[in-house]
Structure 1
Amino acid sequence: MIDIFGNAVLDYQKGNYTEDIITFSSLDEEDKIPLPYLFRDYKEMPELEQKALDLYKGSVLDIGCGAGSHSLYLQKKNLDVTALDHSKGAIETCTLRGINKVAHSDIYDFKGPRFDTLLLLMNGIGIVGRLNNMSRFLDHLKTLLNPGGQILLDSSDIIYMFDEDEDGGRWVPDTGSYYGEVEFSMKYKNQESEPFFWLYLDYKTLETASEANGFNCQFVRKGDHYDYLAKLWLK
C-alpha cells in the first residue's frame, strides 16, 4: 500500500516541500491538506485541540499521531507520551522531530501497555471508518486504558454538507449507511491511495455508541463549525 500521508509529511520534514496532499471524497469536490498545518505548534492549533491537550492526565497514547505535533507538545511538558500511527513515514517523521516514544502499528495490532489518556484528535475517531465498527474499536480501546483512564476525541457533524429543505431540515440520501461515513482517496506527487472510509460522528451518535459499549460520554466543548470535543471513560 502506498503511504501517501507518510511520504508527504516526511518530505516536509526533510525540506522537500513542493506540494500539498490532494483529497477526493464521496461528498465534496477535491480539497487539500496543507502540509505546514500538520506541523503547527500549540498556539496555531484550534481551541478544541488546545483544550484536549490541557485535559491530559498521566501517560498518553496519541492515536493516529500523524506528524506528531500533539505528541511533541506534550513531551515538551515532560509527559510520558507515545505517538502511534500505521504510517511508516509518519512515525519516521515523529522520530526526526525528536519524539522519544513511537509505535508503528495499526491500532488493532497494538497490544502495548495501558495508558491514562488516549488522544484521538483531528477527527481521530475517523479511523473507525464505518459506524458498525464502533463496538470493535471501543472494545479494543478498553484494553489500552488504565483504571480511571480517559479518551479525548474531536469530531464533526457533517449534516451541514447536505441540502436544506423548506422546513429547515437536511435532505440526506437513503443509502442504507450512516451519513457520516465518507469515502476518501488521497493523491500526492502523482501517486494515489486506494479508497478508504473515514467516519464523522455527530455527538448524539457518539454518545449512543459509547453508552452501548460501557463508556460514559461527556460533551466538553463546541467548535467553530459543527465540530466538538468529547471525553469518554469507562463506567
Structure 2
Amino acid sequence: MKDLFGKAILDYQLGNYTEDIKTETSISEEDDLPLPYLFRDYDEMPSLEKKALDITSGSVLDIGCGAGSHSLYLQNTRGLEVTAVDISPNAIEACKLRGVKNAISLDVMTMTSNNKYDTLLLLMNGAGMCGRLEKLTAFLEKLKTLIAPGGQILLDSSDIIYMFEDDEEDGGVWIPADKSYYGEVDYIVKYKGEEEPAFDWMYIDYDTLKKAADYNGFKCTCILEGEHYDYLAQLSL
C-alpha cells in the first residue's frame, strides 16, 4: 500500500495542500474528496457524527481515526480519554502533530484485548473497513474483545441500494452478479499522480448490520437516520 490517503492528510497538516484526494469505486465514477473536510470542526460535521460524539462516553477507541478530528473534539472539548488508531502511519503522524495525545498506527484486527474501552467509535462508514460481508462476523468478534462491560460501539454507514435502482417505472433494482452483497465495492484512491491498488470496502444497510449483530450476540439500535440512506447505529453486548 502506498498510503496515499495518509500522505494527503499529512501534506495538508504540513501546509503542503495543493490538490484533493480523488476516489473511485467499482460502482461510481471518480470524485474529489476535499482535504479540508477531513479536518472539520464539530460545527461542520454532519448530524450523524455530531450525535455519535454527543453520546460517546468513558474511555474511547477511535478506529480508523483518519485526520483525528473526532478524537480531538472528544479529547479537548469533552475531556475524554481517547486512543486513536489507523492503519495509515502518515495519518497517525498528522494526528500527533494536531495534538492527539494517544495515536497509534495499527490494524484493529491485530489489537490485543488487554485494554477495554467504553466506546468504540467507527465513523465515516467505519463498518466498511472489514471489506466484505463474509468478514463481518470476524470483525464484530474482534470488536467484542475490546469493549468494556456496559460499553458500546457507535458506527455509521449507508444503504447504497439506491445506486442500483432501475430507471424504469416498475421500481426494480439491478444488482451486480460479481459481488455476494450489493454493498461491497472495490475502492481506489488517487493523489498527486499516484494511484493506490484497489482495496475491498463495504457499505452495509441497517437491516443486514442488525442481523449480523444479533447473530454475534450484540443488541443493535438505530440511533439516528440521515438524509441520504445513511444511519448511526449503536451496538452493545
Alignment TM class, shorter chain as reference? over 0.9
Counterparts of 2:193 and 2:60, CA distance in 1: 36
Counterparts of 2:165 and 2:208, CA distance in 1: 21
Q: Structure 1 176/20 Cα, relative in aligned 2: closer, same or farther at 3 Å?
A: closer
Work out whether 1:206 is the aligned partner of 2:212.
no
- 2:29 match: secondary structure: coil
2:95 maps to a residue whose letter is C
- 1:29 match: secondary structure: strand
Give the equivalent residue in structure 2 for 1:171.
Answer: 174
Counterparts of 1:105 and 1:173, CA distance in 2: 33
Deviation at 1:208, TM superposition (A): 0.4
- 2:161 match: secondary structure: helix
- 2:52 match: secondary structure: helix
What's the TM-score, normalizing by structure 1? 0.97
Contact 2:165-2:171 at 8 Å conserved across structures: no
Instruction: Give runs of aligned pairs for residues 65-214 of structure 1, distance below 5 A.
Output: 65-76=65-76, 77-111=78-112, 112-164=114-166, 165-214=168-217
Counterparts of 2:178 and 2:199, CA distance in 1: 17
Instruction: Give runs of aligned pairs for residues 59-70 of structure 1, distance below 5 A.
Output: 59-70=59-70
What's the TM-score, normalizing by structure 2? 0.96
- 2:48 match: secondary structure: helix
1:148 maps to a residue whose letter is G
Work out whether 1:220 is the aligned partner of 2:227.
no
Counterparts of 1:86 and 1:176, CA distance in 2: 25
- 2:24 match: secondary structure: strand
1:23 maps to a residue whose letter is T
Deviation at 1:110, TM superposition (A): 1.5
Deviation at 1:183, TM superposition (A): 0.3
Structure 1 stretches lacking a partner, 5+ long: none
Counterparts of 1:24 and 1:43, CA distance in 2: 28
Deviation at 1:174, TM superposition (A): 2.8
Deviation at 1:169, TM superposition (A): 3.0
- 1:118 match: secondary structure: strand
Structure 2 stretches lacking a partner, 5+ long: none
Moved over 6 A (4+): none
Aligned length: 234
Cα deviation per residue 1:70-128 (whole Å; 9 max; x = unaligned)? 00000012100111001000100000000101111001112251100000000011101
Contact 2:21-2:191 at 8 Å conserved across structures: yes
Deviation at 1:24, TM superposition (A): 1.6
Counterparts of 2:3 and 2:51, CA distance in 1: 30
- 1:15 match: secondary structure: coil
Give the equivalent residue in structure 2 for 1:26.
Answer: 26
- 1:148 match: secondary structure: strand
Deviation at 1:176, TM superposition (A): 4.7
Counterparts of 1:144 and 1:73, CA distance in 2: 22
Counterparts of 2:192 and 2:12, CA distance in 1: 13
Choose 111-120 or 82-91, whichever is displaced more.
111-120
- 1:30 match: secondary structure: strand
Counterparts of 1:100 and 1:88, CA distance in 2: 15
Give the equivalent residue in structure 1 for 2:13.
Answer: 13
Give the equivalent residue in structure 1 for 2:54.
Answer: 54
Cα deviation per residue 1:192-221 (whole Å; 9 max; x = unaligned)? 111101110000000000001110100111
1:191 maps to a residue whose letter is E
Deviation at 1:175, TM superposition (A): 2.9
Choose 167-176 or 97-106, whichever is displaced more.
167-176
